[in-house]
Amino acid sequence: MSIYIYNEIWLFVRAFAGGAVLILCYSLLQEIRRLIFCSPAAGGILDLLYWVCAGLLVFAGIYRINQGILRSFLFLGIISGAFLTYLTIKPLFEKICYIILEVPVRFVKKTSKKYINWLLFFCKRCKILVKQSANQYKNSTRNRLQMRRGRKFGKIREKTKKKDNRV
């Protein structure tokens, strides 16, 4: 066989491996999403970003490797690599990733929950203190206003009494 054919076979093998890596990266993203419990909307956005990035990387790789010529056997290699990896390696890979990623995620969840509860306690306590001080301020200004009003009314009453006594 000629060197050209060997080069084409090598490109097909690389495309096959690229498809396998793409599907394994996607399954890793799925496991992370499963452990973190994100919403369906966030999951959709993550999927969209992944597939856009994957498409750009595939086309950039094909363009760079094959001097800008898009060949159908490269797409066939990517699809066959992804399909065979999906059937064979992906279930085992997902189990291993779940086991490996479960430990740090649980640790982060437990520690963050503890610190979040601690911070929430102080936030609630500060809120109570702010309300108490606001009520004290409100009560103190209300008393001052009532005292001022009382003084004004007292002066008015004194003036009316003085006017009544003039006769």
Instruction: Give the pLDDT confidence of 25-36 residue by residue, as tens digits.
Output: 998 888 888 887
Mean pLDDT, range 2-26, rounded to an integer: 89
Distance CA 62, CA 19 (A): 12
pLDDT at residue number 143: 56
Of all residues in the chain, what percent carry a pLDDT higher than 70? Answer: 72
Res. 145: pLDDT tops 80: no
The secondary structure of 16-67 as a DSSP string is: HHHHHHHHHHHHHHHHHHHHHT--HHHHHHHHHHHHHHHHHHHHHHHHHHTT
pLDDT at residue number 33: 84
Q: Categorise residue 43: left if φ over 0, alpha if ψ from -120 to 50, beta otherwise.
A: alpha
pLDDT at residue number 161: 62
Res. 65: pLDDT tops 90: no
Res. 154: pLDDT tops 80: no
Least confident span in 3-17, 105-119, 141-155: 141-155
Q: Which of residues 6 and 160 earns the better pLDDT score?
A: 6
Reading the block at residue 35, the tokens are: 């452990």
Distance CA 60, CA 74 (A): 13
pLDDT at residue number 21: 93
Mean pLDDT, range 93-118, rounded to an integer: 79
Q: Where is 81: in which H helix or E strand?
A: helix 72-88
Closest by alpha carbon to 17, among 90, 97, 91, 84?
84
Dihedral sign computed on CA atoms, order 17, 88, 53, 71: positive
pLDDT at residue number 139: 64
